[in-house]
Amino acid sequence: MSEYQWPNPATRPLLGKKISRVDGPIKSSGRAKYTYDYNPAGLLAGRILRCPYAHARITSIDTSAAEKMPGVKAVQIIQKPGTEIFWAGDEVVGVAAVDEPTAEDAIRAIKVQYEVLPHFISDAEPPKNIASSSGPISQDDFEDMEDNQVPDEQVIAAIKQNGISFHPDEKYLKDAQESGVDKKVVEALRTAKYAQATASKSPYKKTAVQTQGQPDKAFTSAAAVVEGLYGASCITHCCLETHGMAAEWPSANDSSASPGTNLLVHISTQNLSGIAPQIAEPMNIPAGSIQVMQQYVGGGFGSKFSPDRWGIAATQLSKSAGGKPVKIMLDRAAEQEVAGMRPSSFARVKIAADKDGKLVAWESRSWGTGGVGGGGTPPLPYIFEIPNQRKQNIAISTNQGSARAWRAPNHPQAAVITMSALEDLAAKMNIDPVDFLTRNLEMTGPRAAIYRDELPIAAEMMEWKKSWHPRGDKAAGLVKRGLGLSIHTWGGRGHNSDCDLTIHPDGSVEIKMATQDLGTGCRTIIIIVAADTLGIPMDQVKLLIGDSRYPVSGGSGGSTTSGGVTSSTRRAAVDACNQLFAKVAPALNAKPEGLEAVNATVRVKSDPSRSLSWKEACAKLGAMPMTVRGKNPDKSKPPDLTNSGVGGVQMADVSVDTETGIIRVNKMVAVQDCGLVVDVKTAESQVKGALIMGISYALYEEKILDPVTGRMLNPNMEFYRLAGIADVGELQVHMMTGKGYDERGVIGLAEPPVVSPGAAISNAVANAIGVRVPFLPLTPARVLEAMGSHG
Amino acid sequence: MKHEDAPKPDQNSGLTRRDFIKISGVGVAVPLAFGPTVVRAAGEDVEVLGPGKAPISLMVNGKKLTAEFEPRVTLLDALRDTFNLTGAKRVCDRGTCGACTVLLEGKPVYTCMVLAIDAQGKKITTIEGLTEGDALTPVMQAFVDHDAQQCGFCTPGFVVATTHFLQQHPNPTPDDIRRGLSGNFCRCGTYDGIRAVALSKSTGASLTGESDGTVREGGSL
């Protein structure tokens, strides 16, 4: 009889090994079909006319010329005259035509007039004495506060003090409570005073000052204090497969869709199971009549959870065009300008330690923008619970496409701000930063033991003791070398996941789950867990994902997929195994609980010579296949197979050319925990990928807006620069495994390793050249400016 | 001639290089009439196609494929939209990222920067043409073995570029790789695996598949 808990290392043939991803061959041969590749007969090309102004009101739209053009099948006004547009590139009109050139011609034939309004795009440091927002709180304001996890007391105080400019009905209040808003906050909304929204709105939204302990006293009595300016600029997701969706309304006799499907959707998404409800509402059709499909997705990184306005437009255009498939994939410029960005975050920080190098006080005034909605609130100080703190964050509302979750939302920014300040303080006290962090690890709470394991391993991989020098490379020559480090954390508990596992009488096994593989290795780990549990080779397990008709599994956000899908698969496979044992036991003259499934056999534990091949055993099922469902979470089937809270350490070795300001990353090391590692090979790839993405945002990536027009100046891939193969030095990854890690269960890995690279590289640069370059990306201009300002 | 269909720069994020090709390609003294038009250029009579659809033949993966295209259609869009060869991807759409790489006369090109009409009479090999059925070339297998792919969207372009690179550099140095494979971008961060593919002991002849007859440098096969 199998138990649900993860097997120990001695009895797991596949779990925790290095296994090649199962979809490697189809991808490397170019046969993998993405949403972008969906090309059914009769496909119409959809294109979007976008607003060229950062802030405007639509005054008129004339689509008559476009509608008359040959080959144009449907025109859909997305935002009507009178609508206020808040960012350049927002959607105005959609067109479907027989091919892309025709659709582009039609877009050019549409005449839209705008009243251009003043825009605001600066995320520079807000003026010293901005007033606290005194106007009533709008629904957007409220939802932003909740998204940004503003403490409940502050939200309640703001509601009471300022009133609200919207009328939350009972349904809204109920939804809010169900989505996790505290009961007291909901009550405050219910009883809030209504006030008319004020006309002119400041772009700055200041949180109340949060104070704990006695920061002033702690700064006065500290042995060392440093002040600094740190931060990271806005970047984009830059998915290689742009956002997009194809929609069609198959007729009843169309064989391409399943029976009962009124609307068939192919979409590039991280959230396969969550798409239908988001289309059902605007289209006013039952979610169950929408079938959502996706086999492969060309990157998401947090930006692909919704059908978006263009997806709804494709659905409407298809309807107008008699149900023919309409596919809208964003062009590169739109992808960069409107389909996702990571908020900027900057801070002035003051930090202090006592004579033993123990952190005693933190003060920060931070600001940043995430588009019209304001910005994220970085969790400052990052990881270290410094006893005395005073902090305030200012979210700046700017006229640009809204922020979307970007791998480990707010953490990379918080890391670069905090770890830079810590490193500057260590440098002032002339303490090796590895030693400095080690002295303060008890402030990191439950993960201190993990960091204590990891720091020496990382230091050894980097040869830190041999290569590290105090701040400022004193060696001769114009190229200076330095080392830096950072540590990080993330939650990563598995999301809700249902898994249907079927064993057929011929021995074949099939799994169905409405999940998605973003290139993380999701397919591979599901098959590893099933095959490992059933004791059969991986190629005997057929995995079906990417269809909303399969059992529901959560969206791939927040590193929740690995824990979710492996837990549901493990429970399904264990239950299936045990049911099979019950059928097989009489033939082996044994009790079901005395059997085990090993090496493609079912055998008696106490006498392995009494065995049936897997195929023979499955034949005992009779004529019918057997399907069982595994779930995560499932309290009735303990233990919990997933967990939350990982720790990681990263170090960077850089060279800085002090004449040109060009930085080269010579080497990076990452030591990472994610509980039980299911597949070491794809896990290492995930961490290496995060290091490379980190090098990219640390050195090159920046969403640059033109102050005059409010438009993005680099909505492309020449001037929105990603790291290339030549920009990446040696990478070394060590996954923490074994005792202390395996028994924690499976924890997701997508976010954590992308948190630290920016901070580690910034610290290495400071160590090399002796001065801090305040903001990411660390461009040559910023390096030279920092060196110049320090003589 | 005034061209009515020229994009208004304020409705796009600026004119892309290919938009420029498209505009100038269509806009150069072409009468709006059917049938081939002959113009005198550089002392020769040249047949002008377009701006409407014109029959175009392409030699793709050893097969002659024919369809009607407007002259402004890129080789990439022709391969993908009309011939359903979707391995090459459109990513940057202006000759930066390499996701649309195919071999033209044995040399890697960005097909987003080549008009279909200009690819006539040339030997085109897409990723689909490197192998048959479910088989993998040694380079493709090395991408699997070294896990040189995550989301996989840049992978076909990288495989084509790496295949040609290894034909040119059977025993590449790290510097060769930095220079030779810098024409492709990946967002997931798979470069370490791709370096391993290029550096693996089994590189050289065993990874490159069949010779395409191009002159090799830096060591023998």
Contact present, B124 and B102 (Cβ < 8 Å): yes
Does some domain include residue A628? Answer: yes
Within a domain: A723: yes
Identify the closest residue of chain A to B97 by CA–CA distance.
Answer: A717
Residues A549 and A616 in one domain: yes
Same domain, A546 and A433: no
d(Cα A667, Cα A285) in Å, to the nearest integer? 54
Instruction: Identify the domain boundary among A294, A329, A364.
Output: A329
pLDDT of residue A213: 96
Query: Beta strand pairing status for A541-544 and A509-512?
Result: parallel
State whether residue B153 sits within 8 Å of chain A by CB. Answer: yes
Task: Give average pLDDT by consecutive 10-residue segment, chain A, 791 residues.
Answer: 89 96 98 98 97 98 98 98 98 98 97 97 89 71 70 83 88 86 90 77 84 96 98 98 97 72 96 98 96 98 98 98 97 97 97 98 97 89 97 95 95 98 98 98 96 98 98 96 98 97 98 98 98 98 98 97 98 98 97 97 97 98 97 97 97 98 98 98 98 98 97 98 97 96 96 98 98 98 90 48
User: Is the CB of B151 less than 8 angstroms away from the CB of A296?
Assistant: yes
H or E stretch covering A627: strand A626-632
Angstrom distance (rounded) from CA B92 to CA A453: 43
Place of tokens 């939650």: A491
Does any domain span residue A624? Answer: yes
Q: Please give the pLDDT value at position B31.
A: 44
The Cα–Cα gap between A522 and A557 comes to 13
**Of residues A409, A405, A402, A396, the one with CA closest to residue A367:** A396
Residues A151 and A73 in one domain: no
Q: Has residue A463 been placed in a domain?
A: yes
Let me know whether A602 and A686 are in one domain. no
How far is C-alpha A284 from the chain's CA centre? 30
Q: Is B7 on the interface with A (CB under 8 A)?
A: yes
CA distance A754 to A558: 12
Looking at A301, A329, A357, which one is the last position of a domain? A329
- A722 and B187: CB-CB below 8 Å? yes
A731 touches chain B (CB under 8 A): yes
For CA atoms A271, A276, A280, A283, the dihedral sign is: positive
With bands split at pLDDT 50, 70 and 90, how would you rate the model's confidence at B210? Answer: very low
Contact map slice: A 21-50 vs B, CB within 8 A: 21, 23-25, 27-34, 36-37, 39, 49-50
Sheet of A626-632: strands edge to edge? A541-544, A509-512, A497-503, A626-632
Number of folded domains that form chain A? 4
DSSP, collapsed to helix, strand or coil, labels residue A716 as coil
- Check whether B24 has a pLDDT greater than 70: no
Asked if B73 lies within 8 A of A298 by C-beta distance, the reply is no
Task: Choose one of A201, A235, A258: the last residue of a domain.
Answer: A201
Residue A491, Cβ density class (10 Å: 0-12 exposed, 13-18 middle, ≥19 buried): middle
Q: Where are the domains of chain B?
A: 54-128, 131-208
Residue A673 falls inside a structural domain: yes
Contacts of A296 in chain B (CB under 8 A): 151-153
pLDDT of amino acid B125? 98
Q: What's the CATH superfamily of B54-128? A: Beta-grasp domain (3.10.20.30)
Q: Is A731 within a domain?
A: yes
| A680-699 vs A757-769: helix crossing angle, rounded to 10 | 50
Interface of A with B in 681-720 (CB under 8 A): 681-682, 684-686, 688-693, 696, 711-712, 715-718
Whether A689 sits inside 8 A of B150 (CB atoms) is: yes
Q: Which residues of A touch B209 (CB under 8 A)?
A: none
Q: B131 CB near a chain A CB, below 8 Å?
A: yes
Which structural domain range is residue A101 located in? 35-119+243-329
Q: Who's near A157: CB < 8 A, 6+ residues apart?
A: A208
Helices (H), chain B: 17-27, 75-77, 138-145, 155-168, 174-180, 191-199, 205-208
Quick check: B11 pLDDT over 70? no
Q: Is the pLDDT of residue B14 over 80?
A: no
Residues A654 and A691 in one domain: yes
CATH superfamily of B131-208: [2Fe-2S]-binding domain (1.10.150.120)
- Flag if A298 and B127 touch (Cβ within 8 Å): no
Residue B187, chain A, CB below 8 Å: the answer is yes
Residues A459 and A566 in one domain: no
Residue found under tokens 């006695």 = A214
For residue A304, count other CB atoms closer than 10 A to its CB: 32
Q: Identify all chain B residues contacting A52, using CB atoms and an 8 Å cutoff.
A: 10-11
Taking residue A711's Cβ as centre, other Cβ atoms within 10 Å add up to 24
CATH number of the domain that residue A426 is part of: 3.30.365.10
Please state, rounded to an integer, the average pLDDT across all residues of chain B: 81
pLDDT > 70: percent of chain B? 74
Is residue A441 domain-shared with residue A584, that is, in the same domain? no
Within a domain: A256: yes
Residue B163 has pLDDT above 70, yes or no: yes
Answer yes or no: do A32 and B194 touch at CB < 8 A.
Answer: no
Query: Around Cβ A453, how many Cβ atoms within 10 Å?
Result: 16
Domain membership of residue A343 (yes or no) is no
Q: How far apart are CA A516 and CA A280, in angstroms?
A: 21
My answer on whether A666 and A689 are in the same domain is yes
By DSSP bridging, strand B123-125 and strand B101-104 are antiparallel
Q: Assess whether A561 and A653 both reside in one domain.
A: no
How close are the terminal C-alpha atoms of chain A, in Å? 73
Find, in chain A, the residue whose alpha carbon is nearest to that of B12: A52
Residue A299's CATH number: 3.90.1170.50
- Collapse the DSSP code of A194 into the 3-class scheme (helix H, G, I; strand E, B; otherwise coil) and give the result: strand
Distances (CA, A) of A328 to A36, A51, A298, A689, B153: 9, 17, 15, 29, 18
Considering the domain architecture, whether residues A695 and A575 belong to the same structural domain is answered as no
The token duo for A350 is: 């003051």
Same domain, A113 and A250: yes
The greatest distance separating any two alpha carbons of chain B, rounded to the nearest whole angstrom, comes to 59
Q: Strand, helix or coil at A160?
A: helix
- Asked if A558 and A571 sit in the same domain, the reply is yes
Structure confidence at residue B219 as a pLDDT band (50, 70, 90): very low
Q: How far is A34 from chain B (nearest CA, A)?
A: 8
d(CA A337, CA A322) in angstroms, rounded, equals 32
Q: Nearest C-alpha of chain A: how many angstroms from B46?
A: 25
